Amino acid sequence: MCDNHAPIDKLVEGFKHFHREHFERKDPYYQALVREGQHPRVLFLACSDSRVDPAIVFGTEPGDLFIIRNVANIVPPYETNTGQHGVSAAIEYAVNVLEVEHIIINGHSQCGGIRALCERPADARIDSPSLVGRWLALARPAYERARADYPEADMDRLALECEKDSILASLDNLMTFPMVKARVEAGKLKLHGWHFDMARGVLQAWNPQSGRFEALSG
């Protein structure tokens, strides 16, 4: 019989390990973070997919990354209407308050959000009854670009290209934020587009000079 408490028990045991490492042993690094606050140099925007936890995939420590995660790692364009803007607020905080030096948009293969967009593009619209559909409407132009560039592609190839085009669209959207644009132009902030292929263990980065994603590792 399935143990319904097993996932929760695993989290509690994980916290006990964390407590032993950072509190019982009085880890000076973590204690300094508590006393002095956070000073991450990187804003890392990733997908909510449970398989691509940035801290695990990239081996970071507490305090290294300021992380935003959402469905399909999408950055919306800057706007100041009366809506609630959780992603945009986090970007503003990271740039204006934390003064991060890098922003990384990290997409990945087998992204469920992008796959849904490619399989049912008509559902991705701002008046969709689904909150996911409304959110994915932001990536609709990326789908249309991928479909136009690869008209004969099967669904797997189309989704892969759409994942990458969505990263580029999010990089463009970042530059609509006045604080991001100002710091980029002042040489104080760099933007990066990364794609992680989970099946092959390959990490690629967008190279604006060559106009393609190129391997960083793997």
- What is residue 108's predicted lDDT score, i.e. its pLDDT? 98
**How many other CB atoms are found less than 10 A from the CB of residue 216?**
13
Cα–Cα distances in Å, from 158 out to 31, 54, 142, 152, 204?
47, 25, 11, 9, 18
Cα–Cα distance, 59 to 141 (Å, whole number): 33
**pTM for the whole structure:** 0.94
Give every residue of the chain whose pLDDT is below 70, as ranges: 1-2, 218
Paired residues of 207 in beta bridges: 212
Cα–Cα distance, 154 to 150 (Å, whole number): 9
Displacement of CA 150 from its chain's centroid (Å) = 25
pLDDT digits (tens, 9 = 90+) for 167-179: 999 999 999 999 9
Cα–Cα distance, 111 to 73 (Å, whole number): 9
Domains along the chain with CATH numbers: 1-37 (no CATH), 38-217 (3.40.1050.10)
Cα–Cα distance, 142 to 140 (Å, whole number): 5
- What is residue 24's predicted lDDT score, i.e. its pLDDT? 85
Question: What share of residues in the chain are helix, strand, coil (percent, to 5)?
Answer: 50, 20, 35
Cα–Cα distance, 60 to 65 (Å, whole number): 8
- What is residue 141's predicted lDDT score, i.e. its pLDDT? 97
Q: For residue 172, which amino acid is it?
A: D
- What is residue 2's predicted lDDT score, i.e. its pLDDT? 63
In degrees rounded to 5, what are phi and psi of residue 64? -75, -40
69 token code pair: 């995660």
Cα–Cα distances in Å, from 190 out to 5, 22, 137, 157, 206?
43, 32, 27, 29, 13
Q: Which of 145, 68, 69 is nearest to 111 (CA)?
A: 69
- What is residue 84's predicted lDDT score, i.e. its pLDDT? 80
Cα–Cα distance, 177 to 189 (Å, whole number): 13
Cα–Cα distance, 141 to 173 (Å, whole number): 12
- What is residue 217's predicted lDDT score, i.e. its pLDDT? 75
Cα–Cα distance, 170 to 91 (Å, whole number): 12
